[in-house]
Structure 1
Amino acid sequence: MDSNDFLEMFIEESKEHLQAMNEELLNLESEPDNTAIVNEIFRSAHTLKGMAGAMGFEDMASLTHEMENVLDLVRNSKLRITVEIMDVIFKCVDHLEKMVTNIEQGGDGKEDVSETVKQLTMIKDPSFNIQEESFAGAQEVAATAELVMDEYQMSVINEAWKTGNKVYQIQVTLDHNCMMKGVRAYMVFQAAEEYGEIIQTNPSVEKIEEDEFGDSFTLLLLSESELRVIQTEISNISEVKEVIITESLTQKLEEVESVNASEIEKQEQTSTIQTKAAQDHGKKKHRSKSIRVDIEKLDHLMNLFSELIIDRGRLEQISRKSDLAELTETVEHMTRISTDLQGLILNMRMVPVEQVFSRFPRMVRDLAKDLNKKVQLVVEGAETELDRTVIDEIGDPLVHLLRNALDHGLESTEERISSKKSEEGIILLKAYHSGNQVFIEVKDDGKGINREKVLKKAIERSVVTVEEAKSLTDSQVYALIFSSGFSTADKISDISGRGVGLDVVKTKIESLGGVISIDSTPGQGSMFRIQLPLTLSIIFSMLVKVAEETYAIPFNSIVEITSISPEDVATLHGQRVIQFRKQVVPLVYLNEVFQVPIVDEGTDRQFYIVIVRKGDKTVGLVVDSVLGQQEVVLKSLGGFLTNLYAISGATILGNGEVALIIDSNQFIN
Structure 2
Amino acid sequence: MEMAQYLEVFIEESKEHLQNINDHLLALEKEPSNIAIVNEIFRSAHTLKGMSATMGFDDLANLTHMMENVLDAIRNHKVTVTTSVLDVVFGSIDDLEAMVQSIANGGDGKRDVNEIVARLQRIEHGDCEEKPKEKETNEEVSGPSFALTYDDFEKTVIVQSKEQGFNVLEVMVTLQQNCLLKAARVYMVFEVVEQMGEVIKTVPEVQQLEEERFDSTFLITLLTKLDQEEVKKRILKVSEITSVDVIEVSTEENQEEVNVENVEKNVQQIEIKEKQEVQANQQSTQKSQATQKTIRVNIDRLDSLMNLFEELVIDRGRLEQISKDLKNAELNETVERMSRISSDLQNIILNMRMVPVETVFNRFPRMVRQLAKDLGKKINLEIVGAETELDRTVIDEIGDPLVHLLRNSIDHGVEMPHVRQQKGKSEEGTVRLKAYHSGNYVFIDIEDDGAGINREKVLKKAISKGVISEQAAANLTDRQASELIFASGFSTADKISDVSGRGVGLDVVKNTIESLGGTVSVDSREGYGSIFSIQLPLTLSIISVLLVEIADEKYALPLSSIIETAIVKKEDILHAHSQKVIDFRGRIVPLVNLKDVFEVPGDVKEEEFCSVVIVKKGDKMAGLIVDSFIGQQEVVLKALGTYLTNVFAISGATILGDGQVALIIDCNALIK
Shorter-chain TM-score bucket reads: 0.7 to 0.9
Matched, 1:299 2:308: no
Q: Given the two structures, how large is their TM-score scaled by the length of structure 2?
A: 0.79
- What is the alpha-carbon distance in structure 2 between the residues aligned to residue 435 and residue 203 of structure 1? 49
Partner of 1:200: 209
- What is the alpha-carbon distance in structure 1 between the residues aligned to residue 90 and residue 502 of structure 2? 27
- What is the alpha-carbon distance in structure 1 between the residues aligned to residue 491 and residue 65 of structure 2? 45
Judging changes above 3 Å, is the alpha-carbon distance between structure 1 residues 455 and 615 closer, same or farther for their aligned structure 2 residues? same
AA aligned to 2:519 is V
Judging changes above 3 Å, is the alpha-carbon distance between structure 1 residues 205 and 460 closer, same or farther for their aligned structure 2 residues? same
> Aligned to 2:664, which of 661, 664, 669?
661
Q: Decide whether the 8 Å contact of 2:50 with 2:180 is kept in 1.
A: no
- What is the alpha-carbon distance in structure 2 between the residues aligned to residue 149 and residue 86 of structure 1? 37
Partner of 1:361: 365
> Aligned to 1:439, which of 430, 438, 443?
443
- What is the alpha-carbon distance in structure 2 between the residues aligned to residue 69 and residue 181 of structure 1? 17
Matched, 1:622 2:625: yes
1:190-229 correspondence to structure 2 within 5 Å: 198-200=207-209
AA aligned to 2:645 is T
Which of these two proteins has the greater Rg computed from alpha carbons? 2
Q: Decide whether the 8 Å contact of 2:455 with 2:481 is kept in 1.
A: yes
State the Cα distance separating 1:492 from its structure 2 match. 2.2
Q: Decide whether the 8 Å contact of 1:491 with 1:497 is kept in 2.
A: no
1:165-244 correspondence to structure 2 within 5 Å: 198-200=207-209
- What is the alpha-carbon distance in structure 2 between the residues aligned to residue 646 and residue 440 of structure 1? 26
Partner of 2:643: 640
Judging changes above 3 Å, is the alpha-carbon distance between structure 1 residues 44 and 197 closer, same or farther for their aligned structure 2 residues? farther
Q: Decide whether the 8 Å contact of 1:198 with 1:219 is kept in 2.
A: no
State the Cα distance separating 1:497 from its structure 2 match. 5.0
**Superposed CA offset, 1:34-70 (max 9, x none):** 1111111111111111121122222211111111111
Partner of 1:45: 45
AA aligned to 2:106 is G
Q: Decide whether the 8 Å contact of 2:615 with 2:667 is kept in 1.
A: yes
1:38-77 correspondence to structure 2 within 5 Å: 38-77=38-77
Q: Decide whether the 8 Å contact of 1:438 with 1:534 is kept in 2.
A: yes
- What is the alpha-carbon distance in structure 2 between the residues aligned to residue 539 and residue 202 of structure 1? 48
**Superposed CA offset, 1:409-439 (max 9, x none):** 1011011111111111111100000111110
Matched, 1:494 2:477: no
AA aligned to 1:650 is A
**Superposed CA offset, 1:428-459 (max 9, x none):** 10000011111000000111111111001111
**Superposed CA offset, 1:563-606 (max 9, x none):** 1133332222222222221111111111111111233x232253
Judging changes above 3 Å, is the alpha-carbon distance between structure 1 residues 570 and 68 closer, same or farther for their aligned structure 2 residues? same
Q: Decide whether the 8 Å contact of 1:545 with 1:625 is kept in 2.
A: yes
**Superposed CA offset, 1:340-367 (max 9, x none):** 1001000000011000011101100110
Three-state SS of the structure 1 residue aligned to 2:548 is strand
1:111-510 correspondence to structure 2 within 5 Å: 111-127=111-127, 139-140=139-140, 198-200=207-209, 287-496=291-500, 498-510=502-514
- What is the alpha-carbon distance in structure 2 between the residues aligned to residue 107 and residue 610 of structure 1? 53
- What is the alpha-carbon distance in structure 2 between the residues aligned to residue 218 and residue 613 of structure 1? 73
Three-state SS of the structure 2 residue aligned to 1:139 is helix
- What is the alpha-carbon distance in structure 2 between the residues aligned to residue 181 and residue 116 of structure 1? 24
Q: Decide whether the 8 Å contact of 2:321 with 2:657 is kept in 1.
A: yes
Three-state SS of the structure 2 residue aligned to 1:640 is helix
Three-state SS of the structure 2 residue aligned to 1:650 is strand
Judging changes above 3 Å, is the alpha-carbon distance between structure 1 residues 36 and 489 closer, same or farther for their aligned structure 2 residues? same
Three-state SS of the structure 1 residue aligned to 2:377 is coil
- What is the alpha-carbon distance in structure 2 between the residues aligned to residue 659 and residue 201 of structure 1? 61
Judging changes above 3 Å, is the alpha-carbon distance between structure 1 residues 639 and 492 closer, same or farther for their aligned structure 2 residues? closer
AA aligned to 2:402 is L
AA aligned to 1:628 is G
AA aligned to 1:35 is I
Three-state SS of the structure 1 residue aligned to 2:291 is coil
State the Cα distance separating 1:324 from its structure 2 match. 2.3
Q: Decide whether the 8 Å contact of 2:649 with 2:667 is kept in 1.
A: yes
Q: Decide whether the 8 Å contact of 2:404 with 2:501 is kept in 1.
A: no
- What is the alpha-carbon distance in structure 2 between the residues aligned to residue 413 and residue 386 of structure 1? 36
> Aligned to 2:523, which of 519, 528, 535?
519
- What is the alpha-carbon distance in structure 2 between the residues aligned to residue 185 and residue 607 of structure 1? 77
**Superposed CA offset, 1:447-490 (max 9, x none):** 11111110011111111111111111111111100011211112
Partner of 2:584: 580
AA aligned to 2:5 is D
Matched, 1:10 2:14: no
Matched, 1:551 2:555: yes
Q: How many residues are paired up? A: 567
Partner of 1:268: none
Identity of aligned residues (%): 58
Judging changes above 3 Å, is the alpha-carbon distance between structure 1 residues 645 and 183 closer, same or farther for their aligned structure 2 residues? farther
Three-state SS of the structure 2 residue aligned to 1:199 is helix
State the Cα distance separating 1:550 from its structure 2 match. 0.6
Q: Decide whether the 8 Å contact of 1:122 with 1:128 is kept in 2.
A: no
> Aligned to 1:532, which of 532, 536, 539?
536
- What is the alpha-carbon distance in structure 2 between the residues aligned to residue 334 and residue 504 of structure 1? 43
Q: Decide whether the 8 Å contact of 1:33 with 1:81 is kept in 2.
A: yes
Partner of 2:35: 35
Three-state SS of the structure 2 residue aligned to 1:523 is coil
Partner of 1:88: 88
Judging changes above 3 Å, is the alpha-carbon distance between structure 1 residues 207 and 608 closer, same or farther for their aligned structure 2 residues? farther
Judging changes above 3 Å, is the alpha-carbon distance between structure 1 residues 149 and 30 closer, same or farther for their aligned structure 2 residues? farther
Three-state SS of the structure 2 residue aligned to 1:651 is strand
- What is the alpha-carbon distance in structure 1 between the residues aligned to residue 431 and residue 82 of structure 2? 25
Judging changes above 3 Å, is the alpha-carbon distance between structure 1 residues 328 and 590 closer, same or farther for their aligned structure 2 residues? same
State the Cα distance separating 1:290 from its structure 2 match. 1.0
Matched, 1:97 2:97: yes
Partner of 1:243: none
- What is the alpha-carbon distance in structure 2 between the residues aligned to residue 308 and residue 133 of structure 1? 61
State the Cα distance separating 1:372 from its structure 2 match. 1.0
Partner of 1:176: none
- What is the alpha-carbon distance in structure 2 between the residues aligned to residue 658 and residue 509 of structure 1? 26
Judging changes above 3 Å, is the alpha-carbon distance between structure 1 residues 419 and 308 closer, same or farther for their aligned structure 2 residues? same
Judging changes above 3 Å, is the alpha-carbon distance between structure 1 residues 7 and 578 closer, same or farther for their aligned structure 2 residues? same
- What is the alpha-carbon distance in structure 1 between the residues aligned to residue 633 and residue 220 of structure 2? 59
State the Cα distance separating 1:127 from its structure 2 match. 4.8
Q: What is the alpha-carbon root mean square deviation over aligned residues? A: 3.4
Task: Please identify, of 405-414 and 76-85, the stretch whose mean Cα deviation from structure 2 is larger.
Answer: 76-85
- What is the alpha-carbon distance in structure 1 between the residues aligned to residue 298 and residue 547 of structure 2? 34
AA aligned to 1:437 is Y
Judging changes above 3 Å, is the alpha-carbon distance between structure 1 residues 365 and 324 closer, same or farther for their aligned structure 2 residues? same
State the Cα distance separating 1:133 from its structure 2 match. 14
Judging changes above 3 Å, is the alpha-carbon distance between structure 1 residues 375 and 326 closer, same or farther for their aligned structure 2 residues? same
Three-state SS of the structure 2 residue aligned to 1:598 is coil
Judging changes above 3 Å, is the alpha-carbon distance between structure 1 residues 207 and 303 closer, same or farther for their aligned structure 2 residues? farther
Partner of 1:604: 607
Three-state SS of the structure 2 residue aligned to 1:487 is coil
Q: Decide whether the 8 Å contact of 1:445 with 1:524 is kept in 2.
A: yes
AA aligned to 2:644 is L
State the Cα distance separating 1:26 from its structure 2 match. 0.2
State the Cα distance separating 1:199 from its structure 2 match. 1.0
State the Cα distance separating 1:204 from its structure 2 match. 8.5
State the Cα distance separating 1:551 from its structure 2 match. 0.6
Judging changes above 3 Å, is the alpha-carbon distance between structure 1 residues 124 and 149 closer, same or farther for their aligned structure 2 residues? farther
Three-state SS of the structure 2 residue aligned to 1:301 is helix
AA aligned to 1:609 is V
Three-state SS of the structure 1 residue aligned to 2:492 is coil
- What is the alpha-carbon distance in structure 2 between the residues aligned to residue 495 and residue 538 of structure 1? 37
State the Cα distance separating 1:140 from its structure 2 match. 4.3
